[in-house]
Amino acid sequence: MADLKLYIGNKCFSSWSLRPWMALKMAGIAFVEEVIRLRQPDTKAKILKVSPHGKVPLLVHGEVKVWESLAILDYIADAFPQAKLWPADPVARGLARSVAAEMHGGFADLRNQWGMNLRKPRTHKPLVDAAIAQGARIEAIWEECRAKHGAGGPFLFGQFTCADAMYAPVVSRFHTYGGELSPVTQAYCDAMLATPAMREWFSDAAKESWPEPDPFE
């Protein structure tokens, strides 16, 4: 197969980039990454050189170009079935796809109030207005998946899947802003943060020399 190349944004705050990057790492799939610094005058031009979509992440696999985090995850799962990035059981797989799609298209208020910034000190920041219900919904999703399908390991469906990849940035947000968490939420966040992939991403983010402003201040 042709080599994989993943174009991503700054690891400090590019939540959409983290998702396919983590899935590739957790699956042990070799790829080349290229970071395009975001929020710069030439950012759009640089991305447009490789993608008409004009955004990252972007996966290039030979002649194939795939954008949007969830589409990239689906492509990886199809191209590398041995990685088992979706649950084999159809009931579990249906739930996994549903909660992944819900994450892709929702929770905007929470994401805006709890902007992903991995260099930000941990500080409890209570959610307000619609984001309160969104935070509760995310925790309910985690509890349901763990209760129904998590017996085989520490992740939402036991072993790591695309659903975990989709929620990885939210895990970082709960870690930074969530304060005291429920036992199930804390255990899941701890398991995700302890993965070699998340540790590597956090380490790389800490090494970025760019003095990025926090867009959610």
DSSP 3: P
Please give the CATH topology (third level) of the domain spanning 4-83: Glutaredoxin (3.40.30)
Tokens of 117: 């910034």
Q: Return phi, psi of residue 152, to 5°.
A: -85, 5
Question: Could you give the 3-state DSSP secondary structure of residue 157?
Answer: strand
To the nearest 10 degrees (0 to 180), the angle between helices 90-105 and 130-149 is 160
C-alpha dihedral sign at 47, 50, 54, 60: negative
Q: What angle do CA 58, 33, 25 make, to 5 degrees?
A: 95
What's the number of CA atoms in the CB half-sphere (13 Å) around residue 27?
25
* Tens digits of pLDDT across the chain (217 residues): 469 999 999 999 999 999 999 999 999 999 999 999 998 899 999 999 998 888 899 999 999 999 999 999 999 999 999 999 999 999 999 999 999 999 999 999 999 999 999 988 999 999 999 999 999 999 999 999 999 999 999 999 999 999 999 999 999 999 999 999 999 999 999 999 999 999 999 999 999 988 665 544 3
Domain-wise residue ranges, the chain? 4-83, 90-200
- How many C-beta neighbours within 10 Å does residue 37 have? 14
- From 3.40.50.2000, 1.10.630.10, 3.50.50.60, 1.20.1050.10, which CATH number describes the 90-200 domain? 1.20.1050.10
